[in-house]
Amino acid sequence: MEGLDTINEHQRRILHQYQSVTHSENINESIRTLGDNDWNLELAVQNRYTPTTNKHATTIYEQLEDVDTPSSSLLGNRPPNRRVTSFFMWPFNLVWKLFWRVFQIAARLLYRPSITASRRDPRSEADRFLRDFEFAYGTTHPKFFEGGYTQALTVAKRDLLYMLVFLSSEEHDDHATFCRNTLTHADLLSFLNTQQVLVWGGNVRYTEAFQVSNTLQATTYPFLAIIALQTNNGTQKMSVIDRLEGPVTPAVVIRRFEAAVARIGPQLDQLRNEREQRERERALRQQQDQAYRDSLLADQEKERKLKEVAELAKRIEKEKEIQAKKRKIYIQYLVGKFIHQTEQENMTKISFRLADGERVIRKFHGTDTLETLYQFVEAYPYLNQDVKYVDEPPANYTHDYKFTIHSPYPRTVYEPDSETKIMDKKGLWPSATLIVDFEMEDDEEDND
């Protein structure tokens, strides 16, 4: 196993492929054979069965690639036809061609890259591909999609974009030339930007790109596939509309892309117009729905405020009724209080001049408070009426007097104080004349 220690991971993968095809169990011999052929798997396999020089083997392989097949025009550009130098080699060429195709199909179905032992998610592989590409060929290149192939398809389908898939493999001699001269060419980059093409790239050494190569049935690298959304039998699906395999110039890529655009562009434009129409209709419906919701909310808010006002009015009216009942009870209490009042010594005589000019004289105990004066004025209109008086004032009630009492000269206003006694107030003892000023007309209710 010493030989394995001298090769890197990429070479180990090629070694695995070589042994799978040739059934060779001698690792060191296989490593020497691959090394003699510059680790070119195709040349190494050919030279195992045709012991010729590398140069001659290359010529044979080029001749085999020139064989025209029914799908050669679709699968991409091939190197120009060359004359077969030896007539007797054509049977072998045919057998080898068939063998190599079978091997490629089998490898696609059965083989999985050994480097994927350390699997990465699609985004990581996309980042790795971009770093490797820029390290080898610089930062002038198409704007590669920063994500997985499936995600790129989803974005292209959603936004109705053309999608260009680029698959690379360093095993092919044309790889570096294509990346350096074609994929970074200013004309191609300008075309891709103008057409707003979504470009996804991958290296078949890694898991996702290898799976994509199987899906797209790539056989030769570099590989390009033009993908766009198409409608077949009422079903919309992302489809490959053209593919290019092998080395091609920027002009060829642009020409093939333009042909693809001319072929399916009208259908894609129709899909865009239909989608834009649906978006406009959706936006209009949203605006209408929003206007309806705003109007509904405004009506609900207006109804809520009206309801609040009505409820407040009801509460105020109810509170007024409660206060009116309590006021009536309070008047009844005052009437009973003054009807049962008895004269005693140390009483002061107060003369009240009412608002209508009437004079009323009443005696009060010296221990009566200033509020007693107000209570008398409040109860006076009812003293001569048949009022059912009560012994206790209503609970939780504070009476609001609509008048003030003051002396004529000098003017001194006496507040309805329930603490200050009459005998302690200068000007009220042993007699006084007071004026009653009503602040407003007070609607009196009939008492039962």
Domain of residue 29 covers 2-111
End-to-end CA distance of the chain: 123
Alpha-carbon separation of residue 445 from 17, 346, 384, 421, 448 (angstroms): 113, 36, 15, 31, 9
Are 91 and 145 contained in the same domain? no
* Residue 157 maps to a domain: yes
DSSP of 241-305: EEEEES---HHHHHHHHHHHHHHHHHHHHHHHHHHHHHHHHHHHHHHHHHHHHHHHHHHHHHHHH
Instruction: For CA atoms 41, 43, 47, 53, give the dihedral sign.
Output: negative
CA–CA distance, 397 with 72 (Å, rounded to integer): 106
- Is there a contact between 445 and 324 (Cβ–Cβ < 8 Å)? yes
- CATH code of the domain in which 354 resides: 3.10.20.90
Task: Tell me the two tokens of residue 70.
Answer: 């029914």
Last residue of a domain, one of 79, 111, 143: 111
Last residue of a domain, one of 46, 78, 111: 111
CA–CA distance, 374 with 385 (Å, rounded to integer): 19
Beta bridge partners of 360: 352
Residue-by-residue pLDDT tens, the chain, 448 positions: 556 778 887 888 888 888 877 777 788 888 888 888 888 887 787 777 654 433 333 332 333 233 233 333 333 333 344 344 444 555 665 666 566 556 655 554 444 444 443 456 888 899 999 999 999 999 999 999 999 999 999 999 999 999 999 999 988 888 999 999 999 999 999 999 999 999 999 999 888 999 999 999 998 899 999 999 988 887 889 999 999 999 999 999 999 999 999 998 888 888 888 888 988 999 999 999 999 999 999 999 999 999 999 999 999 999 999 999 999 999 999 998 898 877 777 789 999 999 888 999 999 998 999 999 999 999 999 988 888 888 899 999 999 999 999 999 889 999 999 999 999 888 898 889 999 998 765 444 444 4
Are 160 and 47 contained in the same domain? no
Instruction: For CA atoms 203, 205, 208, 211, give the dihedral sign.
Output: positive
* Residue 352 maps to a domain: yes
- CATH code of the domain in which 146 resides: 3.40.30.10
What's the pTM value of the predicted model, to 2 decimals?
0.45
Pairing of strands 235-245, 403-407: unpaired
Last residue of a domain, one of 185, 213, 248: 248
Are 106 and 122 contained in the same domain? no
